[in-house]
Structure 1
């Protein structure tokens, strides 16, 4: 991280060596070379247009599905402000959300408007931007099931509205290019009864509380479910429940979650994940793919 990129003008803020561990769920990892918080979409677009084309750009929400390596992240990390987290209800059972909005906020707005079909967002602990990029899903539904269109700021500073089809969705993946930043999404629901919607959201919340280590320093689901299998079951069958490397641990509550027990480094967490992958491969012949995004450089 020795290169210091010259930054174009910005109405928002740009912090050199900005801490990511302050808000990343694992609470580990090195700083961003530049942590940029634009004021709005236009500010971001002008900034991106003026940024040298070889400067890496990484959008980050709340870091609920992210390992930031201990050497930090070169280039620019973009974090959207609260002003870009607004949620509004539109005609025809549609919900428009800024990319900085949390899934629970979107689900709650839909519930209050009597719009069903978005309840599963209650079970996604990240932002709309992250959900759109990675096709986040829970409880049998994916973001691709409800997305109508997404507004993105491309790496060269263009503001474009992409229909869902253009995102080329597959399981936990989209065709959104590196460096592009989702700034808004439009979701489709169906008419529903507020009480029924609320009950389903409560069920999801209770199920998550009972089955996942929500009050720990974690990064959410670590590995993708291989076709026909559950990652947690493969990890459990391979004897990895509770496995530790330093202060990094495979959760005993849910085997597809890794934990920072307090003093783990990102290197510890990633190495533990690779140990789990190797053990599962040896036991079952199945190679687990990372679902958590790993970014930055080693220390």
Structure 2
């Protein structure tokens, strides 16, 4: 257990104040014991790898949990892929591909499996829910439970995981994809397309806002863009908009980036300004995809 560690060190956007307590469990047994020993009124937040979150400048009151190497295993069991919650989405995609199984949609999704399940992550027309079999989690009291798809009630970029519960492992059923080399080339093409269209070299947290249509990119030439968040942002003349050290990317309008001097307040304020301008322009209210947690700086 560590105290008052700046969470900016652990987030992709490199912003955020300290946690009251930071828990870095080495195993599920250690995590279960820590949860059981906590005051049940203490707040618990699972940070994951910090890829899809703005931690506000005042930090987080309560205990922040960051899963480590004891939670990043990946096993292939027939057509099932069993991955620890801290296993990176990209690593899971590649390990599956090496076994001839197609979870290639995970290759370009930033973050780890726990966050992917919680947010029902998707890309190229496929979602976690399409392949999900079950997950294991620890409750706020440290009890181990198995969750089905109906328990999680997957929806677009959302699930019903109770507050304070910690996902530790997930199992997916993957369709056979044939030759591993073919799957690897498919993923290489996805990476090349992503790098050509998204600011992968900048400090970002992935897509900032959910698509109002509730649809991920299909990757097809006939993909409809009318209600994609990036198109609404461009139409509102907010592509490239700057506030303090925060900017809406000039490469992809739905990516909020830290140019190097942004605070969490800059990032959140720019996001809210974008939401206002999009509403004024189109009458559509964009919903945040990036989680915003913690307290503003006093």
TM-score range, shorter chain: over 0.9
How many Å separate the matches in 1 of 2:144 and 2:135?
Answer: 11
Shift in Å, 1:250: 0.5
In the alignment, which of 116, 131, 137 is matched to residue 146 of structure 1?
131
How many Å separate the matches in 1 of 2:176 and 2:105?
Answer: 16
Partner of 2:81: 95
SS in 2 for 1:179: coil
How many Å separate the matches in 2 of 1:29 and 1:218?
Answer: 14
In the alignment, which of 20, 38, 48 is matched to residue 33 of structure 1?
20
Partner of 1:242: 240
In the alignment, which of 43, 47, 62 is matched to residue 56 of structure 1?
43
In the alignment, which of 34, 38, 52 is matched to residue 47 of structure 1?
34
* 2:169 corresponds to 1:171: no
Higher mean C-alpha displacement, 17-26 vs 270-279: 17-26
How many Å separate the matches in 1 of 2:289 and 2:262?
Answer: 20
**Cα RMSD (Å):** 0.9
How many Å separate the matches in 2 of 1:132 and 1:60?
Answer: 14
TM-score for the superposition, normalised by structure 2: 0.94
SS in 1 for 2:287: coil
1:148-163 matches, cutoff 5 A: 148-163=133-148
Partner of 1:132: 117
How many Å separate the matches in 2 of 1:224 and 1:192?
Answer: 29
How many Å separate the matches in 2 of 1:81 and 1:232?
Answer: 34
SS in 2 for 1:123: coil
1:1-299 matches, cutoff 5 A: 14-91=1-78, 93-116=79-102, 118-193=103-178, 194-227=180-213, 229-299=227-297
* Stretches of 4+ aligned residues off by more than 3 angstroms: none
Shift in Å, 1:130: 0.4
Partner of 1:10: none
Shift in Å, 1:196: 2.2
How many Å separate the matches in 2 of 1:211 and 1:31?
Answer: 34
How many Å separate the matches in 1 of 2:69 and 2:197?
Answer: 30
How many Å separate the matches in 2 of 1:188 and 1:200?
Answer: 19
**2:26–2:69: 8 Å Cα contact kept in structure 1?**
no
Shift in Å, 1:195: 2.3
How many Å separate the matches in 2 of 1:180 and 1:226?
Answer: 28
How many Å separate the matches in 2 of 1:39 and 1:119?
Answer: 29
TM-score for the superposition, normalised by structure 1: 0.93
Shift in Å, 1:165: 2.0
Partner of 1:6: none
Partner of 2:216: none
Shift in Å, 1:19: 2.3
Structure 2: tracts of 5 or more residues without a match: 214-225
Structure 1: tracts of 5 or more residues without a match: 1-13
How many Å separate the matches in 2 of 1:185 and 1:285?
Answer: 39
Partner of 1:9: none
